[in-house]
Amino acid sequence: METRDVHELSERFTVLSDRFRSLWTFFQFLAGVYKHRGEGQIPYQYDFHALYKRIQDLVPNIRGEISKLILVEFEQIERELERIQRNLESLDGSFPPSYLRRFFDHLKRQDEKILFALVKFYLMSQELDQETLDKLDILLTRLAEVPAENGELMHRSPSELLPTYKRLAKFAGLTPLPSAEEKPYVEGMAQIREEFDRIGDFDTLVQSKIYDRLRGFKTRIGRDMLHPAILVEVTAANIAARNRFRELFEIEERQLRDGTNRILEIERYLEKNPGLASENIKQKIEAFRRSQLRFEKGLRQDNVKRSDILELRQSMHAVLAQFEATAADPLGDFEDPPPPSVMLRVPRWSDASAGDESAPSARDTSAEAPTLITESGETPVTSITDVLPNDPLLNEVLHKIMFALEMVVWDRSPEQVVQAPEIKSLGLEPWEVETYRTLVEQQASAQDNDREVERFFLTSAALRVKMEEERREIQRLAESSKPDHLATVLENSASSLDRAREVDQRFLWFIDDMIYRAETDRLTQIYRSRFRFLSAYAGLWLDHQKHGGLTPL
């Protein structure tokens, strides 16, 4: 046999062994998928080790005179690999591209060699249909991304990606596109990527339908997407799309949580006053719960769909609008209207006030706060707003703390409450929980000097929580390169720092007063609360100054 023939057979062996590695890797990948889905063993078995030995036995025979038996063995192994390919493709068709994405989302580390092997498997498919192209799109984007410390994804430079994509294009047997055909695709994809960078809020992101346009454009390109220059822009647009969704969804999710918390509060109010719930609002709450379940399921599976977000938001707004409209109308569904601010605390109305036409409506801002009763029903008390003065700086955080504490059953001890999922993220101390309960039930007069420390525990805890949240937001924005948003947070947090200086002086006053009066029962509590407060104060001050804020001295 001529040298040329030996060289061709050597190249043929390289392709054959490369294909074997790709099939063997894909088989292992599918086995992992079946296990991850809880379906047990993959319903396909093959002795890859025996086949590997047959391939290795070819090596000594690819030189000199090539016997016909070796050529027959080549053909048989190639047909065997083709048969394995078809079997694995059949199994692969049982799960959609979205599952492939979620599977790799669960992997903390992604081996590039494995990704390349899977890409080659799909490139060897007899027919590159849209589902196969979608899976290639996911895998090739994974090859193009580099995780950053702040959670965002960076796109590798074109100079790094082009050689890789050219090798894959050669493997797939792609014929280069004429410049006149390639250029519009490259420019169109670049425009979509730049549009992602300009979108500043979640509503605009959804209303623009940019994800639909991105997918439609890729579908229109079809197999030509695999050409190196186009593929660089496709993967860059995919990464920009993921980064923008992640960043804006975090903001949207916080807003959805706030709305969900308010609906929980409305439900608690209706449970305590079942005669006040109209059939209309109950149906809207039920629709909200269904959409919430779908949303929560998507979160658990890392597969949140835009349609689920929109449905949850719409159903949430429907409940809130119905409740607020009814609460504002004395002739509406509620015989006894709820208090002006359901976000602060849902009151426990006394039976004596039920159906009383003189009860204040939400429109009557000059009316006195409605009367509350304790769990035992014995002692009427006033609203928590009468115990704590209005404070524009802390109202929002106080509402959050009060609502979270109302979500926990009151027969649990303060030590148990601070570990409850609804409370744990706030980082409250047990005596701060007890302070809230004491103030709500108002076991002593609101003017009693002993209650001053109770009010201080709660307000200082609220400022501490606020400073910790502001510090996390500064750190997040500093890493995400959002100078405009960062400047706003820095400006707002300066007010917290200014207040913190005054609050620390109050801590010292309480400590000195307790020591002077020899009332040291709560001294350990006040010391611990102060040290935690100082930790939050110092952390915010340092980050505020580090990132250019006008830090109060």
As a three-state string, the secondary structure of 456-515 is HHHHHHHHHHHHHHHHHHHHHHHHCCCHHHHHHHHHHHHHHHHHHHHHHHHHHHHHHHHH
* Candidate ranges 115-129, 226-240, 439-453; pick with highest mean pLDDT: 226-240
Instruction: Give the pLDDT of residue 490.
Output: 87
pLDDT given at position 199 = 86
Mean pLDDT within 303-323: 80
Average pLDDT, the chain: 78
CA distances (Å), origin 48, targets 19, 23, 24, 44, 487: 12, 9, 7, 12, 60
Q: Which of 165-179, 323-337, 397-411, 538-552 has the lowest mean pLDDT?
A: 323-337
Residue 93 pairs with which residues in a beta bridge? none
Angle CA(31)–CA(37)–CA(38) in degrees, nearest 5?
90
pLDDT the model gives residue 440 = 72
CA separation for the pair 265, 324 (Å, rounded): 13
Q: What is the pLDDT of residue 396?
A: 75
Poorest-pLDDT segment among 64-73, 436-445, 486-495: 436-445
Question: What pLDDT sits at residue 204?
Answer: 83
pLDDT, residue 304, reads: 73
pLDDT value of residue 439 = 77
Q: What is the distance, to the nearest Å, from the Cα of residue 535 to the centroid of all Cα atoms in its chain?
A: 28
**More reliable by pLDDT, 70 or 37:** 70
> In whole angstroms, what is the distance from residue 471 CA to residue 490 CA?
9
The average pLDDT across 525-530 equals 90
Phi first, then psi: what are they for 211, rounded to 5°?
-70, -40
* 255-265: average pLDDT: 81
Average pLDDT, stretch 392-418? 75
Say yes or no to pLDDT of 81 above 80: yes
Give CA–CA dist 323/138, Å, rounded. Answer: 44
Is pLDDT of 510 > 50?
yes
321 or 230: whose pLDDT is higher? Answer: 230
Instruction: Give the helix/strand (H/E) hosting 154.
Output: strand 153-155
Higher pLDDT, 108 or 352: 108
pLDDT for res 381: 35
273 or 125: whose pLDDT is higher?
A: 125
- Give the per-residue pLDDT at 367: 29
Please choose, from the candidates 392, 521, 381, 357, the residue with its C-alpha nearest in 3D space to the C-alpha of residue 453: 521
Q: Please count the other Cβ atoms lying within 10 Å of the Cβ belonging to residue 376.
A: 7
pTM higher than the cut 0.95: no
Residue 423 pLDDT > 70: yes
Residue 373's CB is within 10 A of a number of other CB atoms, namely 18
What mean pLDDT do residues 453-467 have? 88
Amino acid at 272: K
Phi/psi-derived region of residue 550, left when phi > 0, alpha when psi is between -120 and 50, beta in every other case: beta
pLDDT digits (tens, 9 = 90+) for 3-44: 457 778 888 888 899 899 999 999 988 888 888 777 888 898
Q: Please name the helix (run of DSSP H) or strand (run of DSSP E) that holds residue 373, with its range, or none.
A: strand 372-373
**Pairing relation of β-strands 372-373 and 380-381?**
antiparallel
- The pLDDT, as a whole number, for residue 467 is 93
Find out whether 312 and 291 touch, Cβ atoms under 8 Å.
yes
For the stretch 315-369, pLDDT in tens is 888 888 777 665 554 444 444 444 433 433 333 322 333 333 333 333 232 223 2
* Identity at 32, one-letter amino acid code: G
pLDDT in tens, 469-480: 899 888 888 877
What pLDDT, on a 0 to 100 scale, did the predictor assign at position 448? 53
Q: Give the best-scoring range by mean pLDDT among 74-83, 334-343, 500-509.
A: 74-83
pLDDT at 219 over 60: yes
Q: Are 477 and 469 in contact (CB under 8 A)?
A: no
Nearest 5°: the CA angle 459, 463, 464 is 115
Please determine, for residue 455, whether its predicted confidence score (pLDDT) is greater than 80: yes
The reported pLDDT for the residue numbered 330 is 44
In the chain, DSSP finds a helix count (H) and a strand count (E) of: 21, 4
Two structure tokens written together for 213: 């346009």
Percent of the chain with pLDDT over 90: 23
> What's the pLDDT score for residue 3?
45
pLDDT of residue 386 exceeding 80, the answer is no
pLDDT band per the 50, 70, 90 thresholds, residue 422: low
| pLDDT at 370 (0 to 100) | 30
pLDDT at 410: 63
Residues 6 or more apart whose Cβ sits within 8 Å of residue 405:
417, 423, 433, 436, 437
Q: Assess whether pLDDT exceeds 90 at residue 518.
A: no
* More confident position, 81 or 8: 81
Better-scored residue on pLDDT, 459 or 369: 459
pLDDT for 550? 77
Q: Which helix (H) or strand (E) holds 186?
A: helix 179-198
State the pairing for strand pair 145-147/380-381.
Answer: unpaired
The residue written with tokens 């980064």 in the block is 243
User: 463 Cβ partners below 8 Å, 6+ apart?
Assistant: 393, 394, 397, 496, 499, 500, 503, 533
